[in-house]
Chain A
Amino acid sequence: MEAILKGNSIHKVFGAKNNIYTALQHVDVTINKGEFVGIMGPSGAGKTTLLNILSTIDKPTSGSIVIGGESVESMKEKDLAKFRRKHLGFIFQDYNLLDSLTIQENILLPLSLANWPAQKMEVKVREIANILGIEAILNSYPYQVSGGQKQRAAVARAIITNPSLVLADEPTGALDSKSSTDLLNTFNVLNKDYDSTILMVTHDAFAASYCDRVLFMKDGRLFTEIVRGDKDRKEFLNLLLNTLSTIGGGTHEHV
């Protein structure tokens, strides 16, 4: 299988001199094309730090990251910005849609950044909106629609450029359970039918149970890894919950 992302011995230290906090200790991660991978772990385990580093927003203290065959850590700010634009899609817990733009304008922003012609952009937006079922709200503003709809719009924005890798940071964190389920099903559809590669950080075992593979983190290290294989979702969920209780934090109440 082709590796989309390869992180080698990623080390991250915060603070200086007397007040050092090690957030990540030599973490190795590989994500293959077409995979839907979850990262779980209690608060403070280093999930978000890892995601930020993998998504090039933050830099590791040491270690190497290769995304789509390109080595990221040596790139300059300017090149990184272009790289993100081309290869990565982002989904955040609090959606991060721009308030002053309509849903349609929010979705087409990455295409606009890539200087697409106006007509092609509109066609593409319609196509994506159709997959995600948000055609009806394209001309509304973010503050006029529900949280679930906002997150779908954010997903649309993340995948509209066909990125090699979609990075999601607690995407269901602000959603009710119905909207969460809808969103996770959408992820499955994107993953299975459109061959998107997705990396999702979550503390919610229910959300993680939709993944193909879940990495567990604790105290800045990779603790263990569980592959779903042919288990059904319920079985996989129970397995995840058991693992969580062994490393502490994250119990059934999160479901």
Chain B
Amino acid sequence: MNMFNIVKKNIKHNFYQYFLYIASMTLSITIYFTFSSLQYNKQISQALTDTEKLESAFGASSILLLLFVSIFIWYSNNFFVKRRKKDIGLYSLLGVEKKQIGRMLFYENFIMGIIALLIGLAIGELFSVFFSMILVKLMGFSIAITFTINSRAIIQTLLVFSVIIFLTSLQGYFIIYRFKLIELFQATKKGEKINKPSLLLALLAIAMIGGSYWLLQLSPESNNWDQNFNRTIIIIIISMLVGSFLLFHSLSAFIFVLLQKNKSFYFKWSNLLTFTQLTNRLKSNAFMFTIISILNAVTLIAFGFGYSIYYNTLDQVKSFVPYSYQYESTSSEVDAKIREIIATDNDHSLIFEHDWEYTMVKGDASELKKVPGGYLYFDESFAVISNTTFNQLADKLDLDTIAPFKETEGLTIINNFIGSQDQQSNLNKSISLHSATADSKIKIVDNKSFSLLNDPVQPFLIVVNDKKYNQLRGENTPTTVHALKVTNEAKSSALTKKIMKELPSEVHFYSFSDSYQEAQSVYGLLIFISGFLGLVFLAASGSIIYFKMLTEVTDDKVRYTTLKKLGVQKIEVMRVIAKQYSVVFLLPLIVGITHSCMILTAISNLMDINFIIPVIICIVSYTMLYLSYYVLTVISCNKIVNA
């Protein structure tokens, strides 16, 4: 019998274990290949005007994915090798040379890797069509995706995974050299030591997690955040990670001890079996629990964030793009023509049309605590509008009007995309507006947060007294804004095209529908990538628990046989398994959800966007998918035990 025959026999006899390993490798390869096919999909990059965005978003994510996929393969390889240790030991005992065993394991792993690679590419090719359809839909394009073979993606995937497979095969080759024979035989030895619950560590766990939550909920406006942003983030992440580990490692042991004190609960047989088993495995499970809860949290944060932004797209665009159309009026004929186009359009009708003007004035804002980017972008200028103009606009846009100011007073309008809208820190500070004669000092008495212009980069708007405005207008040329608002503006891209034809090309024209389309394509991409990564992480955490539980239950088969001999029914055995695994699945899920909610709340405060509904939708759908893994695990384990 030569080496190849032994390998073949091995695969036949341990088919299930090999199958699991190949399946998890195939999964990783499929995911990676699907993603890189999307990355290099010509149809999608052609549809996008701004391909740089696509490339950078996909590029960064694919590195994350690669990192993750390698870790996952490494994990499953370790899992697999662990289960084979006894075989390896037996060969060694029977006198097979170390070199031969090493070579056998190398070939075995390499062959499996190649099989997984081929299957992965085939499935990935199909998946990529499916996922590009989703991506295109999310980005709001209307193109039909055709089936294409993407050679660049194939080559990249082949290259990356050949290296990974080679490295894992090499790991297999060296395993026989790494362990002593006796260690190979004791690989699955039972009787783990039980953690002594330490009150100190349990308290530390609470303190670390509580502390990180407290830091997160501290207003991001606080000085500490402002000055030490990076340091604060690092402290939060580290204390969350370490805290979670300690939580599972120590606090849970502590809780189990407390449960043990309640004898009538603890001695109930199903509780007895569930909790002793959990406590017993706590040491080896604490690390897995931590990993899973972090994976859960990261997924929920990524997806929750992406979905929230996507969910709020319309509101976001509305608050930054107040008019359906805005352009600098050149002649009344053009205005009349556009009016006519809108009037003859069946889908849209005019709500209002309004001309107004502002004047760019250079000035000094050094006294202010917060200065919007537009100030520097427009060469240290303010866009000044008069009190009357503001009130006219406010009337059109359904905003509160303001009472007249004194000549030395003013109101700022700052609409931040990121960061809180709370800009009251500038109140009662002064700015000065330059003039040929004398600079005028304006005290800021109020601040409002909305946009009065469609411009992608908005100037720093300041509202002043009418008399002051007229004085400034005399020295600087005013800009006239022609603003139109139509009904059903989110779906007005056809109308936008018609209007654009009438306008001279040099005119600055900003439409709601273009901004909306732009936002949708960007946020669609964002939600796609976060959703994709979310699914990957879900698959990973699910698989990790699945593998782990399958291993444990195979080791514990004798235990369940004993129980059955003692008169426990099959259905009751399944109930014990279901109960035990519900804790295994739920603990990391709950911790993951709590972590992600805390972080999302902080982001929500920072960005002033309402996250509640989209995040709830996210958590619910994630939990459903996650629980299906739980059901799958219970069914598989039940099959092993009760077969």
> Which A residues contact B (CB, under 8 angstroms)?
55, 57, 77-78, 81-86, 88, 90, 92, 96-101, 105, 108-110, 112-113, 115, 117-119, 121-122, 141-143, 157
Instruction: Check B636 for interface membership: any CB of A closer than 8 A.
Output: no
List the 5 shortest-distance A-B pairs measured between CB atoms, nearest first.
Answer: A85-B567, A112-B269, A84-B567, A118-B263, A100-B280
Given contacts A118-B264, A141-B191, contact A109 B279 (CB under 8 A): no
A81 x B268 contact (CB < 8 A): no
Residues of chain A with a CB closer than 8 A to B565's CB: 55, 57, 84, 90, 92, 96
Given contacts A99-B559, A101-B272, A101-B276, contact A85 B566 (CB under 8 A): yes
A250 to B276, CA, bound (A): 42
- 15 chain-A/chain-B pairs, Cβ below 8 angstroms: A78-B569, A81-B570, A85-B566, A86-B567, A88-B567, A96-B565, A99-B191, A101-B276, A105-B267, A110-B567, A113-B566, A118-B266, A119-B263, A121-B267, A157-B566
Instruction: Check B558 for interface membership: any CB of A closer than 8 A.
Output: yes
Min CB distance, A159 to chain B, in Å? 13
> Which B residues contact A (CB, under 8 angstroms)?
190-191, 194, 263-264, 266-269, 272-273, 276-277, 279-280, 558-559, 561-572
Min CB distance, B576 to chain A, in Å? 11
A112 x B570 contact (CB < 8 A): no
A99 x B190 contact (CB < 8 A): yes
Of B276, B279, B569, the residue contacting A81 (CB under 8 A) is B569
Of A82, A100, A101, A117, the residue contacting B264 (CB under 8 A) is A117
Min CB distance, B245 to chain A, in Å? 22
Q: Which residue in chain B gives the minimum CB-CB distance to A116?
A: B267
Min CB distance, B248 to chain A, in Å? 18
Chain A CB count within 10 A is highest, among B558, B567, B568, for B567
Min CB distance, A144 to chain B, in Å? 9
A93 to B130, CA, bound (A): 58
Q: Which residue in chain B gives the minimum CB-CB distance to A110?
A: B566
A98 x B562 contact (CB < 8 A): yes
Residues of chain A with a CB closer than 8 A to B267's CB: 105, 108, 112, 118, 121
Chain B CB count within 10 A is highest, among A84, A86, A88, A122, for A84
Residues of chain A with a CB closer than 8 A to B279's CB: 100
**7 additional contacts (CB under 8 A) given A113-B567, A119-B263:** A81-B564, A83-B567, A88-B567, A109-B269, A109-B272, A118-B263, A141-B194
Of B273, B562, B571, the residue contacting A96 (CB under 8 A) is B562
Min CB distance, A125 to chain B, in Å? 10
Q: Which residue in chain B gives the minimum CB-CB distance to A142?
A: B191
Of B190, B276, B567, the residue contacting A105 (CB under 8 A) is B276
Given contacts A99-B280, A105-B276, A112-B269, contact A143 B570 (CB under 8 A): no
Min CB distance, B565 to chain A, in Å? 5
Q: Tell me what chain A mostly uses at the interface: helix, strand, loop, or mixed.
A: helix
Q: Tell me what chain B mostly uses at the interface: helix, strand, loop, or mixed.
A: helix
A141 to B266, CA, bound (A): 17
Residues of chain B with a CB closer than 8 A to A85's CB: 566-568
Min CB distance, B3 to chain A, in Å? 33
Q: Which residue in chain B gives the minimum CB-CB distance to A90?
A: B565
Residues of chain A with a CB closer than 8 A to B562's CB: 92, 96-98
A81 x B190 contact (CB < 8 A): no
A81 to B574, CA, bound (A): 14
Q: Which residue in chain B gives the minimum CB-CB distance to A161?
A: B567
A33 to B263, CA, bound (A): 36
Residues of chain B with a CB closer than 8 A to A57's CB: 565
Min CB distance, A56 to chain B, in Å? 9
B277 x A100 contact (CB < 8 A): yes
A90 x B268 contact (CB < 8 A): no
Residues of chain B with a CB closer than 8 A to A157's CB: 566
Residues of chain A with a CB closer than 8 A to B558's CB: 96
A105 to B558, CA, bound (A): 17
Min CB distance, B342 to chain A, in Å? 76
Residues of chain B with a CB closer than 8 A to A96's CB: 558, 561-562, 565
Q: Which residue in chain A gives the minimum CB-CB distance to B271?
A: A112
Min CB distance, B567 to chain A, in Å? 3
A87 to B572, CA, bound (A): 19
Min CB distance, B197 to chain A, in Å? 16
Q: Which residue in chain A gives the minimum CB-CB distance to B267?
A: A118
B268 x A112 contact (CB < 8 A): yes
Min CB distance, A70 to chain B, in Å? 14
Residues of chain A with a CB closer than 8 A to B559's CB: 98-100
Given contacts A82-B567, A84-B565, contact A100 B269 (CB under 8 A): no
A220 to B35, CA, bound (A): 64
A83 to B268, CA, bound (A): 20
Residues of chain B with a CB closer than 8 A to A92's CB: 562, 565
A3 to B426, CA, bound (A): 98
Min CB distance, A139 to chain B, in Å? 11
Residues of chain A with a CB closer than 8 A to B269's CB: 109, 112-113
A142 to B568, CA, bound (A): 21
Residues of chain A with a CB closer than 8 A to B572's CB: 81
B276 x A100 contact (CB < 8 A): yes
Of A81, A83, A86, A99, the residue contacting B568 (CB under 8 A) is A81
Residues of chain B with a CB closer than 8 A to A142's CB: 191
A172 to B245, CA, bound (A): 45
